[in-house]
């Protein structure tokens, strides 16, 4: 059976049918999936829950695996992730066992961000698999950063083209301060890498805005006031509904998104319900 691509959002998102994730992708299918990914930026696969090893095998069929950010940055003080979970898997969950979280991000909103933009060589893609989902809330939205860049008014584009942005490592997208990091009192001094504000996708050749996240973002050479004014104006442009597609999760869903041209946000949900997601990441290049 051939693979079928069903577009879901106005400017991004598509469901892929006819691919069985329980079996390692052959190169022909993997190439078709990559082609659809480059066109639609976020792909949805529906099916029964997969084991961690199957999720890893699926990821390896598409590229090299990247470790979760806590391992890349050697972060201490994170959740008590089960010893049976392979180190390539990142657990995103609000569930607590013996009083300790078993995963990251809790139940509050995870604000708009690009995964791990706060490391020097961020992952190309993220693959998130739903094992338990709440009855409502916890939807994940995606934002097309090619479209956001291509429609940016000239007056803003000329101020951001060629600039670098500092990506603060201190806080998670849910607002928690990472263990061992001091509170940021001056965004110009926040720890984290500089990346180009506009990056060229290494495979499609298209340009996309690369903002990381709004909190503590800092554009080189600007005063704090100029920075806030410029980033507020850019973010106002970016957060238009026409660039966004929102996904309501079902158990078994696998979503794969391209961190080089997509940002995402997870809405809050009731902390008395359980949400467990396992994530792998595809290794990427230094943004340029
Ligand atoms: C993430 O930010 O990678 C997690 C998204 C989600 O929990 O839906």
CATH of the domain at 220: 3.60.130.10
* Sign of torsion over alpha carbons 119, 121, 124, 126: negative
The 8-class DSSP code of residue 171 comes to B
Average pLDDT over residues 114-122: 94
Say how many Å lie between the CA of residue 221 and the centre of ligand 1.
32
Q: Where is average pLDDT lowest: 1-5, 78-82, 114-118?
A: 78-82
Note the pLDDT of residue 24.
87
Note the pLDDT of residue 204.
97
Note the pLDDT of residue 78.
72
What distance in Å separates the CA atoms of residue 16 and residue 1, rounded to the nearest whole number?
A: 12
Residue linked to tokens 């499609």: 204
Instruction: Answer whether residue 245 is part of any domain.
Output: yes
Instruction: Answer whether residue 276 is part of any domain.
Output: yes
What distance in Å separates the CA atoms of residue 148 and residue 232, rounded to the nearest whole number?
A: 14
What distance in Å separates the CA atoms of residue 45 and residue 130, rounded to the nearest whole number?
A: 11
CB atoms within 10 A of CB 226: 12
Instruction: Answer whether residue 288 is part of any domain.
Output: no
Note the pLDDT of residue 2.
83
Summary mean pLDDT of the chain: 94
CB atoms within 10 A of CB 62: 20
Say how many Å lie between the CA of residue 213 and the centre of ligand 1.
14
What's the number of domains the chain is made of?
Answer: 1
What distance in Å separates the CA atoms of residue 159 and residue 230, rounded to the nearest whole number?
A: 8
The string of pLDDT tens digits covering residues 230-265 is 999 999 999 999 999 999 999 999 999 999 999 999
The string of pLDDT tens digits covering residues 43-79 is 999 999 999 999 999 999 999 999 887 777 777 667 7
What distance in Å separates the CA atoms of residue 175 and residue 172, rounded to the nearest whole number?
A: 5
Spell out the residues 6+ positions from residue 230 whose beta carbon is closer than 8 angstroms to its own.
156, 159, 160, 219, 222
Pocket-testing residue among 115, 256, 277, 279, ligand 1, by greatest number of atoms within 8 A of Cβ = 277
Domain range enclosing 172: 4-282
> What residues line ligand 1, using a CB cutoff of 6 Å?
92, 105, 110, 115, 126, 128, 140, 173, 264, 266, 277
Average pLDDT over residues 69-91: 80
Element (H, E) at 237: helix 224-238
Instruction: Answer whether residue 287 is part of any domain.
Output: no
Q: How far is CA 260 from CA 61, 145, 186, 188, in A?
A: 19, 8, 27, 24
Name the closest-CA residue to atom 7, ligand 1. Answer: 266
With 80 as the cut, is the pLDDT of residue 108 above it?
yes
With 80 as the cut, is the pLDDT of residue 178 above it?
yes
Name the closest-CA residue to atom 6, ligand 1. Answer: 266
Note the pLDDT of residue 1.
56
Residues counted in the chain: 288
* Sign of torsion over alpha carbons 65, 68, 74, 76: negative
Pocket-testing residue among 69, 93, 130, 140, ligand 1, by greatest number of atoms within 8 A of Cβ = 140
Is the pTM above the cut of 0.85? yes
């Amino acid at each position: 059976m051939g693979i079928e691509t069903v577009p879901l959002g106005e400017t991004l998102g598509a469901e892929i049918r006819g691919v069985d994730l329980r079996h390692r992708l052959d190169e022909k299918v993997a190439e078709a999936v990559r082609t659809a990914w480059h066109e639609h930026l976020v792909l949805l696969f529906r099916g029964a829950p997969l084991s961690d090893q199957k999720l890893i095998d699926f990821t390896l069929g598409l590229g090299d695996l990247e470790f979760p950010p806590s391992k890349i940055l050697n972060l201490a003080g994170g959740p008590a992730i089960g010893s049976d979970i392979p180190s390539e898997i990142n657990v995103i969950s609000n569930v607590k066992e013996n009083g300790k979280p078993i995963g990251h991000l809790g139940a509050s909103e995870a604000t708009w961000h690009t995964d791990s933009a706060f490391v020097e060589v961020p992952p190309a893609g993220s693959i998130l698999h739903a094992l338990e989902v709440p009855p409502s809330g916890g939807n994940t939205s995606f934002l097309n950063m090619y479209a956001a860049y291509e429609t940016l008014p000239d007056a803003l584009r000329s101020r951001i083209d060629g600039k670098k942005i500092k990506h603060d490592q201190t806080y998670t997208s849910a607002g928690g301060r990472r263990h061992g990091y001091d509170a940021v009192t001056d965004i110009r001094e926040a720890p984290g890498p500089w990346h180009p504000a506009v990056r060229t996708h290494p495979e499609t050749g298209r340009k996309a805005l690369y903002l990381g996240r709004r909190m503590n973002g800092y554009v080189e050479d600007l005063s704090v006031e100029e920075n806030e004014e410029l980033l507020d104006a850019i973010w106002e442009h970016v957060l238009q509904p026409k660039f966004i597609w929102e996904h309501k999760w079902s158990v078994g869903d696998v979503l794969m998104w391209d961190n080089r041209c997509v940002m995402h946000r997870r809405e809050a949900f009731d902390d008395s319900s359980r949400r467990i997601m396992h994530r792998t990441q595809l290794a990427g290049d230094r943004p340029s």
